[in-house]
């Protein structure tokens, strides 16, 4: 059975990693304290090389935007950590016969750098990154591509585990996958159709999967 996993704030704590990196960056450039919040606000949902064209101007930095992007990619990749128990849970799913894949929106270089730096990459049968696939969650074609990376098709069935109600849950449901929402202390928004399962964190989510038939 296939289980696709979102990466940011599902398997790894991107929010904390970004905050750590931004603090260090602001210190290293002796920028004013408020630069920290400006960077985190700008990059809170996603980060692309174009963001550093704007941040360079706003923060009066002399670096080339592409150098700032590379510094960000390397810095954030080494600042993010897996949520406790995530790695062990994924290993247990593999041992139990699950096919597991990454289904993440983002630029290829940053998403792959995070997967490599956290040591998660070798655990997966397939990795699908929107910046490389040319299509993003919540589009059905993205989930098709993610399943194909794992050597499977959507009509083989499977699960999507993620933290985003729209891109992860509604998207995967529309693509015919079962859906598991990692709540992380939030309430499910009433505006969206409920997922098949809700877990408080990634360990709980993997626990539910392990109770399913493979
Ligand atoms: Mg996410």
CA distances from 172 to 1, 145, 167, 169, 177 (A): 15, 12, 8, 5, 5
Distance 81 CA to ligand 1 centre (A): 14
Distance 6 CA to ligand 1 centre (A): 6
Distance 66 CA to ligand 1 centre (A): 25
Handedness of CA 81, 87, 89, 93 (dihedral sign): positive
pLDDT at 136: 98
pLDDT for 52 beyond 90: yes
pLDDT tens track for 160-198: 999 999 999 999 999 999 999 999 999 999 888 999 999
> Is-cis flag, bond preceding 138, omega within 30?
yes
Element (H, E) at 27: helix 14-28
pLDDT at 213: 73
Q: How far is it, in rounded angstroms, from Cα 24 to Cα 155? A: 46
Average pLDDT over all residues of the chain? 96
Confidence of residue 36 (pLDDT cuts 50, 70, 90): very high
Distance 1 CA to ligand 1 centre (A): 22
Distance 5 CA to ligand 1 centre (A): 9
Distance 201 CA to ligand 1 centre (A): 12
Question: What is the rounded average pLDDT of the residues 23-49?
Answer: 96
**pTM recorded for the entire structure:** 0.96
Distance 183 CA to ligand 1 centre (A): 11
List the shell of residues around ion ligand 1, using CB closer than 5 Å.
6, 8-9, 163
**Residue-range domains of the chain with CATH:** 2-13+82-210 (3.40.50.1000), 14-79 (no CATH)
Query: Which residues have CB under 8 Å from 75's CB, separation 6+?
Result: 21, 24, 25
Distance 192 CA to ligand 1 centre (A): 17
pLDDT for 24 beyond 80: yes
Distance 16 CA to ligand 1 centre (A): 13
Q: What letter would DSSP give residue 167?
A: I
pLDDT at 12: 98
């Amino acid at each position: 059975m296939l289980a696709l996993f979102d990466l940011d704030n599902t398997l790894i704590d991107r929010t904390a990693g970004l905050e750590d990196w931004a603090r260090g960056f602001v210190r290293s450039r002796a920028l004013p304290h408020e630069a920290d919040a400006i960077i985190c606000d700008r990059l809170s949902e996603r980060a692309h090389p174009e963001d550093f064209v704007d941040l360079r101007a706003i923060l009066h930095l002399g670096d080339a935007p592409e150098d700032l992007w590379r510094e960000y990619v390397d810095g954030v990749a080494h600042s993010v950590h897996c949520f406790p128990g995530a790695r062990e849970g994924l290993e247990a799913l593999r041992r139990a016969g699950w096919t597991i894949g990454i289904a993440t929106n983002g630029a290829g270089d940053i998403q792959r750098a995070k997967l490599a730096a956290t040591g998660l990459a070798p655990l997966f049968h397939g990795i699908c990154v929107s910046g490389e696939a040319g299509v993003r969650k919540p589009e059905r074609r993205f989930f098709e591509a993610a399943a194909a990376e794992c050597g499977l098709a959507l009509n083989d069935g499977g699960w999507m585990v993620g933290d985003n109600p729209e891109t992860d849950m509604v998207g995967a449901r529309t693509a015919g996958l079962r859906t598991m929402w990692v709540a992380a202390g939030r309430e499910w928004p009433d505006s969206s159709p409920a997922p098949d399962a809700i877990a408080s964190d990634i360990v709980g989510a993997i626990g539910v999967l392990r109770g399913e038939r493979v």
